[in-house]
């Protein structure tokens, strides 16, 4: 799940944060923990809970959970029926960057730290690197096969696991079937076709754009690179390889630059008042989105869905027959190092994201009281409501038609770096210069590459290129 927001730096001094953690800190002061005996997965104490192999928890614990999932209290209510001795206090600390800023603040302060916190995939490495998150592999490693493989990679470093994948955003192409029918357009299956149709469409109807380029969303831009097969970061711990300005990355942004320059695509800040107005007016024939795009973008901002008749299709391919996809958005429930109840917190994070009773709630539309999530747990794909026609997409069962098939195509080699916030800001700035004609795309990406390498080295990382 993703909320439109601008990324800001979320981690200050790594040394400072680590020092705070080393000094010891926690939440739920005054509460009695009987969970000091940590139970390894696979031990005799593991039991089946709603069909899920999880540790039996006989102690008492009260957890604080930061989350922005819609109707999250219902997740808590379901969980507490199965684990009545673990109480969960839900806190809405904001979404995305707003929450991350508060999370970094309480970590550095050493107090007020939640036991479980909702994070997006791209910020996980930052908090793992700073030692803010707890390795929960002793209690959850047996669940790995229950999740889409690439999502488990995103929460793991080697055999260590720092969170439970919650939802994902395999990418797709959304299009207004009303415009495609009017102008006899075919849904493009390759980016070459996308480019050709964009130019033709703009000639047919200069008052509209074939699509938009989200110039304020580095996470979305990296989703484009992910889908193209780029691997900008590789590594773990203190050692990383950075390759942002690859020929493929230049190809991706050059295509968008050409379409923007031709007037076929609008470069615009997603979430801005102008963008909201344009979405509602049906100014864009297509949009590159992900599995949650209808619920988070179309439903809130397009009040003419019955006229525009949006549908979803597979993301265009760079090479015909190469069905690789990328991800945009998606989140994790991570357990913090500060928790006094790591086993209880791990059980909670796992249960709400993998237990059948929770998945039925998670995949239900938010407007109907559910979470509105595209689940990372593959069992969620079997929930009947997951397969239902989607009224926001002209009653297309898009999860079945498109996104369930796109999910296993997401490139498993892609990694986020520990500096995502810095990287996003640099990329947005330099691509903005390139699209306004101040520099070439190649120069823009070279500048991002050099800036990120310098920044990472200044933070103490060993970086190769």
Spans of all domains in the chain: 46-168+330-387, 177-327+399-463
Query: Domain 177-327+399-463 belongs to what topology?
Result: D-Maltodextrin-Binding Protein; domain 2 (3.40.190)
Q: Summarize pLDDT for 355-379 with one digit per residue, the tens.
A: 999 999 999 988 888 988 999 999 9
With 50 as the cut, is the pLDDT of residue 67 above it?
yes
Q: Which residue has the higher pLDDT, 465 or 45?
A: 465
Nearest to 389 by CA among 399, 381, 380, 379: 399
With 80 as the cut, is the pLDDT of residue 301 above it?
yes
pLDDT at res. 50: 87
With 80 as the cut, is the pLDDT of residue 34 above it?
no
pLDDT at res. 1: 59
Q: Summarize pLDDT for 322-357 with one digit per residue, the tens.
A: 999 999 999 999 999 999 999 999 999 999 999 999
Q: Is residue 237 very low, low, confident or very high in pLDDT (cuts 50, 70, 90)?
A: confident
pLDDT at res. 3: 53
Residue 149 burial (CB count, 10 A)? 13
Nearest to 71 by CA among 119, 139, 1: 1
Give the angle 57-59-65 at the CA atoms, nearest 5°. Answer: 80
With 50 as the cut, is the pLDDT of residue 6 above it?
no
Task: Label residue 230 exposed, middle or buried (CB < 10 Å: 0-12, 13-18, 19+).
Answer: buried
% of the chain residues with pLDDT over 90 = 84
86-91/61-66 β-pairing: parallel
Q: Summarize pLDDT for 146-201 with one digit per residue, the tens.
A: 999 899 999 999 999 999 999 999 999 999 999 999 999 999 999 999 999 999 99
Task: Label residue 7 exposed, middle or buried (CB < 10 Å: 0-12, 13-18, 19+).
Answer: buried
Contact by Cβ (8 Å): 65, 74: no
With 50 as the cut, is the pLDDT of residue 38 above it?
no
> In DSSP terms, which residues pair with 91 in a beta bridge?
66
pTM of the model: 0.88
Query: Domain 46-168+330-387 belongs to what topology?
Result: D-Maltodextrin-Binding Protein; domain 2 (3.40.190)
pLDDT at res. 381: 95
163-176/310-314 β-pairing: antiparallel
Q: Across residues 204-218, what is the average pLDDT?
A: 97
Task: Label residue 29 exposed, middle or buried (CB < 10 Å: 0-12, 13-18, 19+).
Answer: exposed
Does 46-168+330-387 match 177-327+399-463 in CATH topology? Answer: yes
């Amino acid at each position: 799940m993703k909320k439109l927001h601008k990324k800001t730096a979320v981690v200050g001094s790594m040394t400072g944060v680590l020092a705070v953690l080393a000094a010891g800190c926690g939440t739920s002061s005054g509460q009695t923990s009987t969970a000091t005996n940590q139970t390894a997965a696979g031990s005799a104490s593991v039991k089946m809970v709603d069909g899920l192999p999880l540790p039996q928890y006989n102690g008492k614990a009260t957890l604080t959970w930061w989350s922005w999932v819609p109707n999250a209290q219902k997740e808590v209510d379901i969980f507490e029926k199965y684990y009545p001795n673990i109480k969960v206090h839900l806190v809405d600390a904001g979404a995305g960057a707003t929450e991350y800023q508060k999370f970094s603040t309480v970590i550095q302060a050493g107090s007020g730290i939640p036991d479980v916190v909702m994070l997006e995939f791209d910020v996980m490495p930052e908090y793992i690197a700073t030692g803010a998150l707890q390795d929960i592999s002793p209690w959850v490693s047996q669940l790995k096969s229950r999740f889409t493989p690439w999502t488990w990679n995103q929460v793991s470093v080697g055999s260590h696991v720092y969170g439970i994948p919650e939802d994902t955003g395999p990418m797709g192409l959304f299009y207004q079937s009303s415009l495609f029918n009017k102008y006899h357009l075919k849904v493009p299956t390759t980016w070459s076709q996308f480019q050709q149709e964009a130019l033709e469409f703009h000639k047919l109807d200069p008052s509209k754009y074939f699509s938009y380029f989200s110039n304020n969303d580095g996470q979305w831009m990296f989703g484009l690179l992910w889908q193209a097969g780029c691997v900008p970061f590789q590594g773990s711990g203190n050692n990383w390889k950075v390759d942002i300005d690859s020929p493929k990355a230049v190809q991706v942004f050059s295509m968008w630059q050409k379409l923007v320059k031709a007037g076929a695509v609008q470069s615009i800040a997603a979430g801005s008042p102008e963008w909201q107005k344009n979405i509602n007016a049906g100014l864009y024939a297509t949009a590159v989105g992900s599995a949650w795009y209808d619920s988070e973008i179309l439903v809130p901002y397009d009040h003419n869905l019955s006229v525009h008749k949006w549908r979803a299709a597979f993301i265009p391919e760079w090479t015909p027959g190469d069905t690789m996809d990328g991800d945009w958005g998606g989140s994790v429930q991570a357990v913090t190092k500060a928790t006094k109840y790591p086993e209880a917190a791990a059980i909670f994070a796992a249960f709400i994201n993998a237990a059948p009773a929770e998945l039925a709630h998670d995949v239900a539309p938010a407007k109907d009281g559910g979470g509105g999530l595209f689940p990372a747990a593959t069992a969620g794909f079997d929930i009947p409501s997951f397969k239902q026609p989607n009224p926001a997409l002209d009653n297309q069962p898009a999860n079945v038609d498109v996104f369930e098939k796109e999910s296993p195509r997401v490139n498993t080699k892609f990694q986020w770096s520990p500096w995502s916030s810095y990287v996003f800001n640099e990329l947005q700035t330099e691509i903005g210069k390139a699209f306004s004609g101040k520099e070439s795309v190649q120069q823009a990406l070279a500048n991002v590459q050099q800036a990120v390498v310098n920044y990472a080295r200044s933070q103490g990382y060993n970086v190769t290129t």
